[in-house]
């Protein structure tokens, strides 16, 4: 009899997948660490609906054990340019982006997303949860900071059956200390197809990126700094503006 080595069982992990550049890279990282990836996308009433289609395309390209779209209508509450009829800021100075909390902040968004992901992880029997927060380029969002992630991990341990039974919950935030350029380099190495991802807060009806919101500006600068060709499909006016920078 030939000895067939047993197939190593992969551990399940929940991966938060928005459809943006960061979360696509995150999914590729989780997969490269040999987790069985269960992608979780939130349809929270965001104005940039193209994100949801991007999430599906990314999940297909990278490959997941499952992909769940969870609906919760944060428009019920409002208070953010991403869910409300408030104008998305354009052409902001990159210096200004790193100070204060932008109007695109959705109150307690990552707290809400991680909480639902923890419940989902518990039903899957997963102890690992991946989130693509990034503290460097987005220091304006309080719920992207390392101290928030560590505190959440502790709270989730106290809130769940897994925690009571001593198994805990590990929150992986592998992008938290990386610059946008480093994230793009990492994802490119892992084979992420960034043409599928969506970052713009205010795309045209045809799904072209505005090139002028904070998210577009950070993304474009990331590709420039990484010395990797930017595959983003920009609106014609935006493309000219980006070349001028």
* 36 neighbors 5 (Cβ within 8 angstroms): no
Q: For residue 77, state whether it binds a copy of itself (rule: CB under 8 A).
A: yes
Least distance CB 211 / a copy of itself (angstroms)? 27
Q: How far apart are CA 210 and CA 208, in angstroms?
A: 7
Nearer to a copy of itself, 96 or 164 (CB): 164
The two tokens of residue 127 are: 């102890």
For helices 180-189 and 21-32, the axis angle rounded to 10 degrees is: 50
Least distance CB 128 / a copy of itself (angstroms)? 15
The phi-psi region of residue 165 (left if phi > 0; otherwise alpha if psi is between -120 and 50; otherwise beta) is alpha
Q: Which of residues 122-151 bind a copy of itself (CB under 8 A)?
A: 122-123, 142-143, 145, 147-148, 151
Look up residue 202 and give its DSSP letter.
S
Least distance CB 71 / a copy of itself (angstroms)? 7
Q: For residue 103, state whether it binds a copy of itself (rule: CB under 8 A).
A: no
* 21 neighbors 221 (Cβ within 8 angstroms): no
Residue from 110, 197, 199, 217 binding a copy of itself (CB under 8 A): 110
Q: How far apart are CA 119 and CA 3, in angstroms?
A: 40
Nearer to a copy of itself, 176 or 239 (CB): 176
Q: Which residues bind a copy of itself (CB under 8 A)?
A: 68, 70-74, 76-79, 101, 105-112, 114-116, 118-120, 122-123, 142-143, 145, 147-148, 151-152, 154-156, 158-161, 163-164
């Amino acid at each position: 009899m030939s000895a067939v080595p047993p197939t190593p069982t992969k551990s399940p992990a929940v991966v938060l997948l928005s459809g943006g550049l960061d979360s696509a890279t995150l999914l590729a990282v989780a997969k490269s660490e040999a987790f069985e990836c269960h992608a979780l996308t939130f349809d929270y009433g965001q104005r940039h609906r193209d994100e949801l289609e991007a999430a599906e395309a990314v999940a297909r390209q990278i490959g997941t054990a499952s992909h769940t779209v969870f609906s919760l209508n944060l428009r019920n509450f409002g208070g953010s340019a991403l869910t409300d009829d408030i104008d998305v800021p354009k052409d902001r100075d990159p210096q200004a982006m790193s100070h204060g909390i932008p109007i695109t902040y959705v109150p307690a968004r990552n707290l809400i997303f991680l909480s639902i992901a923890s419940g989902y992880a518990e039903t899957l029997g997963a102890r690992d949860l991946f989130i693509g927060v990034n503290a460097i380029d987005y220091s304006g969002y309080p719920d992207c900071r390392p101290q928030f992630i560590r505190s959440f991990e502790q709270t989730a341990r106290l809130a769940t059956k897994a925690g009571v039974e001593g198994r805990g919950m590990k929150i992986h935030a592998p992008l938290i200390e990386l610059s946008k350029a480093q994230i793009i380099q990492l994802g490119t190495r892992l084979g992420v197809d960034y043409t599928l991802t969506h970052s713009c807060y205010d795309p045209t009806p045809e799904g072209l990126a505005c090139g002028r919101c904070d998210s577009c500006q950070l993304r474009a600068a990331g590709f420039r700094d990484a010395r990797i060709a930017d595959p983003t499909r920009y609106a014609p006016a935006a493309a000219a503006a980006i070349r001028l920078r």
